[in-house]
C-alpha cells in the first residue's frame, strides 16, 4: 500500500517521494484501468494517496457542482468509510500553483467524498498525459455512468471543442467512440448556455434534456425570436426569485420553446418516469401527430408492472386528447 504523502511538503518533495511508491500496471479488473491501459499504451502508473485539499477539478471535467454535496454523496462517503476507496481517481500534477498540487481528470465525486471524511486520503493514479488523452480517458471512464446527465457531457464536450485540442467534431467523435451526429447535437444543445440569461434559469444541469436544449438552441439562432424568448426567460426568473416558484429544467425549456415557436413544442418528449435521476420512459407526438413511446435501457431496472402502467397511462392520456 502506498505511503501517505506529506500535505505540507513541496511538489518536488512529493515527486521524489512518488518515485519510491509502488509502480502499478493498469491491468487490474476495473473499467477505469482498462481504459487507461488502452489509452496509455501499457504505461505503468503511480498509485498514490494524497490530501484531497491539495486537489481541484480539471477545467474540462463533466460533473456538475450540484453533485458535490454531502446529501448526493452520502452513499459514497459511507462506502469509503466502511470499505475504503475501491476505484482510484486519476490526477495530473499541476506546476506552479501554491494552493493545489493536482487536477482531477476523473473521480470528482470520489474526491469530494474523501474531502468530507477527516484525515481521509484520496487514492489516485498519476498521469502526465496531455489534454487530448485526458479528455478521452475521462469520457471512457464515465461513458457508462448512469448518474451523469447527457447535458453535463454536452457542456463538457463543448468546452473541449472550444479548447482547440480537436481539429473538428469529426476528430472528437472518432476519439470518443461516438457518432459525429451525436457530438454535433450535444454541442449545439450546450450552446444555450452561451446566453447568460438562459443559464441563470437553471439551478444545475442534471435534468436538462438534450432534445429540448437542441430545439431551443435552434430557435435562439433566429434573431427575430430572441426578444420574445428573452422576455419569457425574464418572466420565469422573476417567478423563481420574487415568487419563490420552482421549475424543472424540462419545464423551463418547454416554456421558452413554446414562446419562440408554439409548433415546435408538439414534438418535445415528456418524461414519464426516471431511474437514477435520468429519463427511463418518455413519450412525444411528432410533427405528423404520431405518438411515440421511448424506453431507455435504464428502464430495465423498473418492474414489469411499473413499465406497463406507465405506458398505458401515457397512451390513454395522449390518444384520448
**Domain spans of the chain, in order of start:** 11-141, 149-266, 269-321
When mean pLDDT is compared across 38-52, 103-117, 210-224, the lowest value belongs to 38-52
DSSP secondary structure of 115-167: HTSTT--EEEEE----HHHHHHHHHHHHTT-SSS-HHHHHHHHHHHHHTTSSS
Q: Do residues 87 and 80 make contact, with C-beta atoms less than 8 angstroms apart? A: no
d(CA 251, CA 189): 16
* Cα 313–chain centre separation: 31
The grid coordinates of residue 217 equal 438552441
More confident residue, 134 or 278: 134
Predicted pLDDT of residue 18: 35
Predicted pLDDT of residue 29: 31
Please indicate, yes or no, whether the overall pTM of this predicted structure exceeds 0.75.
no
The grid coordinates of residue 276 equal 437514477
Please say if the pLDDT value at position 318 is more than 80. Answer: no
Q: How many CA atoms lie within 13 A of 106 on its CB side?
A: 24
Predicted pLDDT of residue 51: 96
Predicted pLDDT of residue 34: 54
The chain-wide mean pLDDT, for the chain, equals 81
Residue range 149-266, CATH number: 1.10.10.2830
Instruction: Give per-residue pLDDT as tens, 224-283.
Output: 999 999 999 999 999 998 888 888 888 899 899 999 987 776 666 677 888 877 778 888
Instruction: Give per-residue pLDDT as tens, 67-82.
Output: 888 988 999 999 999 9
Least Cα distance to 112 among 61, 70, 60, 64 occurs for 70
d(CA 304, CA 309): 9
d(CA 295, CA 307): 9
* Cα 95–chain centre separation: 27
Q: How large a percentage of the chain has pLDDT more than 90?
A: 45
Instruction: Give per-residue pLDDT as tens, 86-99.
Output: 889 999 999 889 99
Q: Which CATH number fits domain 11-141: 3.90.1530.10, 3.40.190.10, 1.10.287.130, 3.40.50.300?
A: 3.90.1530.10
Please say if the pLDDT value at position 163 is more than 50. Answer: yes
Amino acid at each position: 500500500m502506498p505511503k501517505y504523502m506529506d500535505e505540507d511538503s513541496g511538489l518536488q518533495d512529493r515527486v521524489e517521494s512518488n518515485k519510491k511508491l509502488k509502480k502499478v500496471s493498469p491491468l487490474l479488473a476495473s473499467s477505469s484501468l482498462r481504459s487507461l491501459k488502452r489509452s496509455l499504451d501499457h504505461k505503468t502508473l503511480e498509485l498514490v494517496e494524497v490530501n484531497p485539499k491539495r486537489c481541484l477539478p480539471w477545467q474540462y471535467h463533466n460533473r456538475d457542482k450540484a453533485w458535490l454535496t454531502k446529501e448526493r454523496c452520502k452513499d459514497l462517503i459511507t462506502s469509503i468509510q466502511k470499505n475504503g476507496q475501491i476505484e482510484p481517481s486519476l490526477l495530473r500534477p499541476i506546476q506552479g500553483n501554491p494552493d493545489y498540487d493536482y487536477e482531477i481528470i476523473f473521480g470528482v465525486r470520489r474526491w469530494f467524498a474523501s474531502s468530507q471524511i477527516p484525515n481521509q486520503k484520496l487514492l489516485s493514479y498519476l498521469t502526465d498525459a496531455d489534454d487530448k488523452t485526458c479528455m478521452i480517458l475521462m469520457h471512457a471512464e464515465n461513458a457508462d455512468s448512469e448518474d451523469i446527465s447527457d447535458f453535463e457531457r454536452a457542456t463538457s464536450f463543448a468546452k473541449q471543442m472550444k479548447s482547440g485540442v480537436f481539429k473538428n467534431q469529426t476528430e472528437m467523435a472518432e476519439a470518443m467512440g461516438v457518432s459525429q451526429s451525436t457530438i454535433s447535437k450535444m454541442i449545439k444543445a450546450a450552446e444555450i448556455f452561451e446566453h447568460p440569461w438562459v443559464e441563470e434559469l437553471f439551478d444545475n444541469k442534471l435534468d436538462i434534456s438534450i432534445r429540448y436544449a437542441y430545439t431551443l438552441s435552434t430557435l435562439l439562432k433566429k434573431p427575430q425570436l430572441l426578444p420574445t424568448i428573452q422576455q419569457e426567460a425574464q418572466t420565469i426568473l422573476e417567478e423563481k426569485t420574487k415568487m419563490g416558484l420552482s421549475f424543472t429544467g424540462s419545464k423551463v425549456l418547454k416554456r421558452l420553446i413554446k414562446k419562440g415557436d408554439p409548433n415546435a413544442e408538439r414534438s418535445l418528449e415528456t418524461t414519464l418516469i426516471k431511474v437514477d435521476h435520468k429519463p427511463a420512459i418518455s413519450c412525444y407526438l411528432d410533427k405528423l401527430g404520431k405518438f411515440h413511446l421511448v424506453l431507455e435501457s435504464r428502464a430495465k431496472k423498473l418492474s414489469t408492472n411499473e413499465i406497463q402502467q406507465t405506458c398505458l397511462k401515457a397512451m390513454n392520456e395522449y390518444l384520448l386528447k
